[in-house]
Amino acid sequence: MKSIIVNLAISAEEFQRLYEGSVKNVFARSIDGRSIRFPAGILRPFVLHNGIRGTFQIDFDDDNRFQSIQRLA
């Protein structure tokens, strides 16, 4: 299984657009400089009143399909 770590800072207003479905994917840069695109829906468990902020580890299988996400900090 592959993992990537990203720092995210998504405001509540930005995530509202993701939640409503007008934006389906999040584009981010990992801490090691790689670009990543993943479904916005995987972040729903981490939404707070001020949006999403923190460091997350995203795990993928060998076919680059999402497996799990966890908040590191």
What is the arithmetic mean of pLDDT over 17-39? 87
Residue 59 has pLDDT above 90, yes or no: yes
Q: Among 49, 51, 54, which Cα is nearest to 7's?
A: 54
Do 30 and 36 touch, CB atoms closer than 8 A?
Answer: yes
Tell me the average pLDDT across 43-59. Answer: 93
Mean pLDDT of the residues in the chain: 90
Domain around 32: 2-71
Instruction: Tell me the whole-structure pTM to 2 decimals.
Output: 0.86
Number of structural domains in the chain: 1
For residue 30, give the CATH number of its domain: 2.40.50
